A and B are shown apart, each in its own frame.
Chain A
Amino acid sequence: MKLLFEKSIKGTSGHYVAPSDVPEYRLDTSLLRGKEPVLPELSENDLSRHYTQLEKRSFGVNDGFYPLGSCTMKYNPKINEVTSHLEGFTDVHPLQPDDTVKGCEEVIDLTKQALCEITGMDDMTLTPAAGAHGEFTGMMLIRKYHEKRGDSARTKVIVPDSSHGTNPATGTMNGFTVVSIPSTPDGYVDLDALRAAVGPDTAGLMLTNPNTLGLFDRNIKEITEIIHGAGGLCYYDGANLNPVMGISRPGDMGFDCVHLNLHKSFSTPHGGGGPGAGAVGCKEFLKEYLPEDFSEAEEGAKAKMEAHPDSVGKVRSFHGNFLVVVRALTYILSLGNEGIPAAAVQSVMNANYFKVLLSKKYHCAEPGLCMHEFVISMEEEHKEKGVSALDIAKGLLDEGVHPPTIYFPLIVHEALMPEPTDTESAATIEDAAEKFLRVYDKAMADPEAAHSWPLTTVIGRPDEVAAARRPHLRWEPDGEEEFGE
């Protein structure tokens, strides 16, 4: 398929600019580029076809089963799109006078209120742009808490090895030293290792729960007590909230701070790089540190700033990805008090049903019941026949299924992590299980053939090593060294 630049025909145009109704203004020449940028020129029709062609080559939740573990690729109800396209939400500007955007303010307030109720927290910010950004913001609150108390010895953050990979990164980026603690053989936090790791240098714990093995830590209360006993705070990575939302609350488990991925648990489209929303909730004693959600330029900014002297500052412009919040609130209000926990229960039922069906052939990393996701290991098959998790994932592409997350968590070798989510029917799960089992049989019968899968996709098996070592990231015009200057 050709790129837009390669389809470009000089002099073609697809845009209509209305005559200017404001006086012309010339920028200072020092601000102007030396030569024209190289931009593609296409008619609207050709441009439209280009994107339709691209769309046909992509795979999303609307195309089929998408069990990408820890990403919660659930169906996004169309009503979310209806509400988030209302003019009162789309045609507004954050610097408008407050009394002209009362509806938007109400959306933010209602969402905060609902999320506080779901998590057992006292206050919430909706500004972080996505999950890892939410984690970073949450850990800023914890850092600020220790700083304000003058407790500069607390430099270490404890992260169990079954946590999301973003957790150690968040700790490090916040200036903490990350201490990794191992899991027990059955996949839970090793309490003895945790007790041995805490001390006067413990700033806090970052726990992903349910963890990346799909297990709800049965010692959760004890874990938070050990951390609090040592003077640290407890951070809950709520990216896996889906199976517990409306049922158990991080606040009741003893956590001080939590982030939620509104784009996962609360059904907004994601996966193409955004936008997301990483709401962060905290207990009363941390709320004075929450980030600012206003601009210096807006009405009453000075008073707002003075009211929050201890805020960690801005983490994102204005109110974050507001339309994602509108979608999340729509989802929460459509499902209501009964629907939210029912969705959570369904996500657990679906994962366990899928796990049982796949266990006919595949080896699961942990036996017994799981929460919303589980982990398969291809280690034995890889050793015996050379069939890897990657081969299975590629084989699934030929079956029209999006592969699960692979090679994560790192504590399971040759891992595949399926998460079917709550929005799949029993029939879809049964059909997907048949496909998974068929791919398994085909791979084990002919491992050599499996290494060349997929066979039916537009792009076969890319050379991942070459792509990482010698990436070719953008089109370059013939004979042109650089775009403009």
Chain B
Amino acid sequence: MNTPKELKYSKTHEWLKEEADGTVTVGITDYAQDKLGSLVFINLPSEGDEVTEDESFCDVESVKADSDVMSPVSGTVEEVNSELEAEPEKLNEDPYGSWIAKIKPSAPAEGLMDADEYEEFCSKEDE
């Protein structure tokens, strides 16, 4: 499992990267894409959407199931990676390169884990 050190992680398996301009970039983790299986569809949020921490802001569909993607932070969607619409498989191939949205936070995200904590969290989930 790949867990880049510079990212933060949520309990619902999203990653978050704090950018220099104050926005955050979010996506789903390697662990998440592996559990979901081959992704075949993504329902992206729209630019300007207000999102709430721990609430669904996007959903992805694999050959097994349809799953919500939770926002790790509250705020406004500034930009979405519309490339994923045509190629949702990129989330499987490169989960950390395939960001879903850039969000301008309205409050700092709470309760996120660093890479080590997240790895431990995932190993417990697997038990």
A residues within 8 Å of B by Cβ? 383, 407-408, 410, 464-465, 468-469
Contact = CB atoms under 8 A, between A and B. Distances in A.
B65 A468 contact: no
Interface string B19-41: 00000000000000000001011
B1 interface: no
Kindly state the interface size class of chain B when it binds its partner.
Answer: 10 to 19
Contacts of A383: 126
Interface string B31-53: 00000001011000000000000
A283 B126 CA distance: 45
Contacts of B38: 464-465
B83 to A, nearest CB: 14
Contacts of B65: 407-408, 410
A408 B66 CA distance: 11
Contacts of A464: 38, 63
B89 A469 contact: yes
**In terms of DSSP, what is the predominant structure of the interface of chain A?**
helix
B52 to A, nearest CB: 12
Contacts of B89: 465, 469
Nearest to A469: B40
Contacts of B88: 469
Contact of B40 (A407, A408, A410, A465): A465
Interface in B8-27: none
A306 to B, nearest CB: 43
Most chain A beta-carbon contacts within 10 A, residue among B64, B65, B88, B126: B64
A468 B41 contact: yes
A156 to B, nearest CB: 13
Interface in B96-127: 126
Contacts of A465: 38, 40, 63, 89
Nearest to A414: B64
A384 B8 CA distance: 30
Contacts of A468: 40-41, 61, 63
A408 B88 CA distance: 23
Interface string B45-87: 0000000000000000101110000000000000000000000
B22 to A, nearest CB: 30
B41 A407 contact: no
A446 to B, nearest CB: 23
18 contacts: A383-B126, A407-B64, A407-B65, A408-B65, A410-B65, A464-B38, A464-B63, A465-B38, A465-B40, A465-B63, A465-B89, A468-B40, A468-B41, A468-B61, A468-B63, A469-B40, A469-B88, A469-B89
